[in-house]
A and B are shown apart, each in its own frame.
Chain A
């Protein structure tokens, strides 16, 4: 019986000992209360005192609430927000804007405020979402669609007007809410960004139809421009061809003239140097003309002076050779 009580006592001491110890992770704040009163807040990020093992009174004297000290984020579903039409001073185009929000509990001192005003991350998400949606709707309502969707360049080189609009919108949302949510809920609003923006679903068929129509118009215009350019290029090419041809013909005529002049000069020079040899060459030319053209049979009188070449070839001193004995004298007999 005594042993039983000792074992029971040891078990109870162990359980109480375990209940008196709590650890604080690097990712969390631990909010400690004693009999319902806030006693301490341990910050897991504030080494060395914050994270690690801590000792306290066991429940129900002390209790701990753990809160994530890391960055939290959530998506805001995209409501259809209305833009402003400055010309008609009425409602402009509707736009679906989806945002995401990043926040965290501001610091260890803010945990108490957070616990009292929000309690849980889910509650914080709901309340923050409502407040941001309200601000966003107001901001978009003051904007034109062309501020959010535009091809205009920005003031800084390399930026666009959209970059500036979105940066301005983000700044406005953060500036309008950051101090307020910190003061009211102990929340540090880290970031609000437009994740997606698009036309409402109901107008999408119209948008697609407009895109098709615009592209068709552009294609028709480009085709027309391209045809004009093709014609212009063809015309220029033809003009170039004609110019080049005329130039080539002129060059051809000039070269031929120069060649003829040179030939005449050479002939004259040859004639003046050796008239008989010149006559011999001319006769060779004529013979070439007569005997050329693949003729197989040619009937001619051998009395023609042209055949002197055959019967009386020229001598080096310029005189013709006498016919050899036994050979036919062309002046006396016919021949083939």
Chain B
């Protein structure tokens, strides 16, 4: 009697768990991608999705409205880490053969209609975007003077705008189902080895005095005659 009761209990639990695995809750801002034996059969929006239980359906949920961020370029931790490459990533050559340390953060979102493309490649999307961004950064720096890079690189209409355009173009063949929303320049400095040779790291204005101010302006793009 007891044995049959335990067996029945196990069977009931198994059936309930199987039935429960057929139900998926898609939260607000999410989109599901349902694969049945590997074939994409539905991309349900927010709400309750009832499909087939485990072994039949696989449901991946992605937050389509959330902005995802990828950090690319120079990282100060790399200097401390002895296992890092001797030429740090994000230390880029400028057109006049100077070097700058540059780090950007790329913000991207999913294209809701193409969420299935993203789900299939989500494990490589960040890496591909990061590589395309590195290539774009290297190209941008190699065509500009170091003063131009240091002084104007952070302006929203300069490097960030160019990067959004260039990244959108370069990742198009990868078909990742994403949209590049923004690029923020989070670090832009001369390398530590030569930083002292640049006025205030090439960024900040020195102490106010007329001669110093003139010298600063001269050293950072010239004084208008």
Closest to A149 in B: B142
Shortest CB-to-CB span from A294 to chain B, Å, is 48
Query: B139 contacts A216, CB within 8 Å?
Result: no
B37 neighbours in A (Cβ, 8 Å): 23-24, 51-53
How far apart sit A26 and B99, CA to CA, in the bound complex (Å)?
Answer: 45
A15, chain B: closest CB distance, angstroms: 16
| CB neighbors of A among B38-83 (8 A) | 38-40
Chain A contacts for B93, CB-based, 8 A: 149, 197-199
User: What residue in chain B is nearest A218 (Cβ atoms)?
Assistant: B219
Report yes or no: A195 in contact with B134, Cβ–Cβ below 8 A: yes
Q: Which of A115-123, A225-233, A249-257, A298-306 contacts B (4 or more CB under 8 A)?
A: A225-233
Is the pair B197, A212 in contact by a Cβ cutoff of 8 Å?
yes
B95 touches A226 (CB 8 A): no
Q: B7 → chain A, closest Cβ, in Å? A: 17
A:184-221 near B, CB below 8 Å = 190-191, 193-199, 201, 204, 207-208, 210-212, 214-216, 218-219
**A47 near B: Cβ within 8 Å?**
yes
Listed stretches A160-168, A258-266, A309-317, A324-332; interface member: A160-168
B116 / chain A contacts, CB cutoff of 8 Å: 26
> Contacts A150-B143, A195-B135 hold; do A207 and B120 have CB atoms under 8 A apart?
no
A229, B127: Cβ atoms closer than 8 Å = no
The reply on B155 being an interface residue by CB < 8 A is no
The answer on a CB contact under 8 Å between B95 and A150 is yes
Q: Which of B36, B120, B127, B173 has the most CB of A within 10 A?
A: B120
Contact between chains at B38 and A44 (CB < 8 Å): yes
Q: Is the CB of B214 within 8 A of A73?
A: no
Query: In the complex where A215-B198, A230-B214 touch, is A102 in contact with B174 (Cβ < 8 A)?
Result: yes
- Which of B10-18, B24-32, B84-92, B107-115 contacts its partner? B84-92
Q: How far is the CA of A222 from the CA of B89 in the complex (A)?
A: 32
Taking the closest CB of chain B, its distance from the CB of A49, in whole angstroms, is: 10
Q: Given A71, A100, A222, A225, which contacts B121 in the complex, CB threshold below 8 Å?
A: A71
The answer to the question of B151 belonging to the interface, with a C-beta cut-off of 8 Å to chain A, is: no
Which A residues lie within 8 Å of B128 (CB)? 71, 73, 102
Complex Cα spacing A26 to B215, Å: 63
Whether A197 lies near B138 (C-beta < 8 A) is yes
Judge if B210 is at the interface, Cβ distance under 8 Å. Answer: yes
Contact of A151 among B86, B96, B175, B223 (CB under 8 A): B96
For A70, list chain B residues within 8 Å (CB). Answer: 120-121, 124
Q: Size of chain B's interface in residues, with CB distance under 8 A?
A: 52
Q: A48 at the A/B interface (Cβ < 8 Å)?
A: yes
Closest chain A residue to B96, Cβ basis = A151
Give A219 to B143 CA distance when docked, in angstroms: 23
Docked Cα-Cα span, A222 to B124, in Å, equals 49
B97 contact from A149, A166, A196, A219, Cβ within 8 A = A149
User: Are A162 and B170 CB-contacts (below 8 A) given A73-B124, A219-B219, A229-B223?
Assistant: no
- Residues facing A in B150-174 (CB within 8 A) are 170, 173-174
Q: How far apart are the CA atoms of A190 and B171 in the complex, in Å?
A: 10
**What's the minimum C-beta distance from B202 to chain A, rounded to whole angstroms?**
10
Closest-CB distance, B33 to chain A (whole angstroms):
9
Residue of B nearest to A50 (CB): B39
Q: Indicate if the CB atoms of B144 and A196 lie closer than 8 Å.
A: no
List residues of chain A with CB within 8 A of the CB of B193.
208
Closest Cβ–Cβ distance, residue A224 to chain B (whole Å):
9
A7-41 contacts to B (CB < 8 Å): 23-28
Q: Which of B39, B131, B135 contacts A51 (CB 8 A)?
A: B39
In chain A, what residue has the closest Cβ to B142?
A: A162
B38, A162: Cβ atoms closer than 8 Å: no
Asked if residues A230 and B211 are in contact (CB atoms below 8 Å), the reply is yes
Residue picked from A73, A149, A196, most chain B C-beta under 10 Å: A196
**Is the Cβ of B95 less than 8 Å from the Cβ of A208?**
no
B35 within 8 A of A: yes
Q: List B contacts of A71 (CB < 8 A).
A: 121, 124, 128, 174-175
What are 22 A-to-B residue pairs whose CB atoms are below 8 Å? A23-B38, A28-B38, A51-B38, A71-B175, A102-B174, A149-B93, A149-B95, A149-B97, A150-B95, A191-B173, A193-B135, A195-B138, A196-B134, A199-B93, A208-B193, A212-B194, A215-B198, A219-B215, A222-B215, A223-B215, A226-B223, A230-B210
Q: Interface residues, chain A, CB within 8 Å of chain B?
A: 23-28, 44, 47-48, 51-53, 70-71, 73, 75, 96, 100, 102, 148-151, 160-163, 166, 190-191, 193-199, 201, 204, 207-208, 210-212, 214-216, 218-219, 222-223, 225-227, 229-230
Residues of B whose CB lies within 8 Å of any CB of A are 35-40, 86-87, 89, 91-99, 116, 120-121, 124, 127-128, 131-132, 134-135, 138-139, 142-145, 170, 173-175, 191, 193-194, 197-199, 210-211, 214-215, 217-219, 223
Q: A191-B170, A229-B218 are in contact. List 9 more A-B contacts (CB 8 A).
A: A52-B39, A100-B131, A149-B95, A161-B143, A193-B170, A198-B92, A199-B93, A212-B194, A226-B211
